[in-house]
Amino acid sequence: MNHTFIDLFAGIGGFHYALHSIGMKCVFASEIDETARKSYESNFKKITPDLFDNNLFNRDIYELNTDDIPEFNLLCGGFPCQPFSQIGKMKGFNEELEGRGNLFYEILRIINNKRPEGFFLENVRHLVKHDSGKTFATIQESLEKEGYSFYYKIIKATDFNLPQLRPRTYMVGFDKSKYGNKEFKFPDPVPLTTSMSDIFEGECTRDVGFTLRVGGRGSAISDRRNWDGYIVNGKEVRLSPLEGLRMQGFPDNFILSDSRVKSMKLLGNSVAINVIKNIGINIKHYLEQSSK
């Protein structure tokens, strides 16, 4: 079975990297941030040249004509979390800044027009409880009204052998007209065998690292806001992009930015590769078993 997917709000391509590694093909991607776009193209032009040769790397999703999207099986995306997170002042669907709160409805627009076999979405843990659960209920009801099943689970990066907590809400669903009510199951966690000492290649006082974030770097190690400072081999060190790549599950040679600050921001906005990969394996299995 040929498994294809589109990569929305793609960032540096965490979904792309993880799903490509299990034999799925990305046929369309969309990302507006210029720094992320440069990283994305640098890493995937050789792997998936059609995206760039055939103008299938979209910039602005609001201006996207869905007729320009090739046929695909799975819609993927870590849609921007600011409207649903504490950092974004928890305005949810009422978020007005740059229209970010409406980006979920762009997902619905594409689903309605293209009718993929399924979707695979990621967002912050707080999404489930935002506005007393009303935001999440709206997301679930909207997708179910389109005729899709809806499954979700909060999963930590540590559940799949990455030494940072990074709890995130993962949502998966399938077109019920094709797959009926067959249940989807998220993968079981695996033992955590990688520690921050492995990440730093030295003796770190913490086994599990802090969740990578977008901003707020440089706080004192004793400060509760600290997330990038560690004691390694008896000395205070700060996370570099190399350690950030390893904590997220990317290879050491993955290209980010020439700027350390921008690179750390790109990583803070990305997804945990091992989690995406393992959920992706279960999605592939579901599609293959249900199509027989």
Q: Is 81 a catalytic residue?
A: yes
Distance CA 135, CA 95 (A): 12
Q: Give the dihedral sign, CA 199/202/207/209.
A: negative
Instruction: Name the nearest CA neighbour of 241 among 9, 3, 12.
Output: 12
Length of the chain: 292
For the chain, the three-class secondary structure string (H helix, E strand, C coil) is CCCEEEEECCCCCHHHHHHHCCCCEEEEEECCCHHHHHHHHHHHCCCCHHHHHCCCEECCHHHCCHHHCCCCCEEEECCCCHHHCCCCCCCHHHCCHHHHHHHHHHHHHHHHHHCCCEEEEEEEHHHHCHHHHHHHHHHHHHHHHCCECCEEEEECHHHHCCCECCCEEEEEEEEHHHHCCCCCCCCCCCCCCCCHHHHHCCCECCCCECCCCCCCCCCCCCCCCCCCEEEECCEEEECCHHHHHHHHCCCCCCCCCCCHHHHHHHHHCCCCHHHHHHHHHHHHHHHHHHCC
CA separation for the pair 165, 212 (Å, rounded): 9
Bridge partners of residue 238, in order along the sequence: 229
Which candidate in 26, 76, 81, 204 is catalytic?
A: 81
* Active site residue ranges: 81
